[in-house]
A and B are shown apart, each in its own frame.
Chain A
Amino acid sequence: SAVISQKPSRDICQRGTSLTIQCQVDSQVTMMFWYRQQPGQSLTLIATANQGSEATYESGFVIDKFPISRPNLTFSTLTVSNMSPEDSSIYLCSAIGGATYNEQFFGPGTRLTVL
């Protein structure tokens, strides 16, 4: 199984600022994803993080607001830009690939509160 860590685990930020969330996987994986879980709601896929190229965003999410990097097969970052209180959510990183191709593993999430 893949073990995924995220930093920070939580943060409280001011409106208008940006936060970068890091996701580290303990083994090389094929695919990495970023999800948002708004309070009391289910998970919504933000984008697929592609290694060495631009991320693939889902409808309703744009690169200017949620820039994503994936410099190698084990690491990705998500930035939440120009934050507003509506961005308060849990952001989760996930990964599949290699021996875990039929299972998607999730990180513990980053709980973001925007004041």
Chain B
Amino acid sequence: GDSVTQMEGPVTLSEEAFLTINCTYTATGYPSLFWYVQYPGEGLQLLLKATKADDKGSNKGFEATYRKETTSFHLEKGSVQVSDSAVYFCALSVNSGSARQLTFGSGTQLTVLP
């Protein structure tokens, strides 16, 4: 079945450091890929998405590129801030670009220290 494997945390970085959170997937068909963020005490928010190979999703300084050849969708940010501290979830959906039936990775806790 479909699955998402995400880099385990927790990850602790200093402010302005470079961030990479690895995500790889296994899916039948052609999945859409997503990164969600969960701030403390809140629900999930969509951070960015990519619906086909070589697409790059970006938002709030975060980027991720859909790499079909390596089945990966790694999340990157060049300079993290304290306010980026949250749990990040990689997810996929195989329903033709819709967000239906999301399969989530295990989540990565990020803490950014001032």
Q: B49 contacts A43, CB within 8 Å?
A: no
Interface residues as binary, B37-54 with A (CB distance below 8 Å gives 1, 0 otherwise): 000011111100101000
Q: Which residues of A contact B106 (CB under 8 A)?
A: 41-42
Q: Which residues of A contact B36 (CB under 8 A)?
A: 106
CB within 8 Å of B: which residues of A? Answer: 4, 31, 41-45, 92, 94, 96, 101-109
Interface residues as binary, B81-114 with A (CB distance below 8 Å gives 1, 0 otherwise): 0000000010000000111111011110000000
Contact with A96, one of B51, B98, B105 (Cβ below 8 angstroms): B98
CB within 8 Å of A: which residues of B? Answer: 32, 36, 41-46, 49, 51, 89, 97-102, 104-107
Q: B44 contacts A42, CB within 8 Å?
A: no
> Smallest distance from the beta carbon of A34 to chain B beta carbons, Å?
12
Instruction: Return 5 A-B CB contacts under 8 Å, by A number.
Output: A42-B106, A106-B44, A108-B42, A109-B42, A109-B43
Q: Known contacts being A102-B97, A103-B49, is A45 close to B102, with CB within 8 Å?
A: yes
Q: A103 contacts B89, CB within 8 Å?
A: no
**Complex: how many Å from CA A96 to CA B99?**
7
Q: Which of B32, B98, B99 has the most CB of A within 10 A?
A: B99
Q: Which residues of A contact B98 (CB under 8 A)?
A: 96, 101-102
Q: B43 contacts A4, CB within 8 Å?
A: yes
Q: Which residues of B contact A4 (CB under 8 A)?
A: 43
Q: B45 contacts A102, CB within 8 Å?
A: no
Q: Which residues of A contact B44 (CB under 8 A)?
A: 43, 92, 94, 106
Contact with A31, one of B32, B42, B100 (Cβ below 8 angstroms): B100
**Complex: how many Å from CA A45 to CA B103?**
8
Q: Which residues of B contact A42 (CB under 8 A)?
A: 89, 104-107
> Smallest distance from the beta carbon of B32 to chain A beta carbons, Å?
8
Chain B residue nearest to A105 in the complex (CB): B46
Q: Which residues of B contact A92 (CB under 8 A)?
A: 43-44
Q: Which residues of A contact B42 (CB under 8 A)?
A: 108-109
Task: Contacts A42-B105, A103-B99, A109-B43 known; list 16 others, CB within 8 Å.
Answer: A41-B106, A41-B107, A42-B89, A43-B89, A43-B102, A102-B32, A102-B51, A102-B98, A103-B49, A104-B46, A106-B43, A106-B44, A107-B43, A108-B42, A108-B43, A109-B42
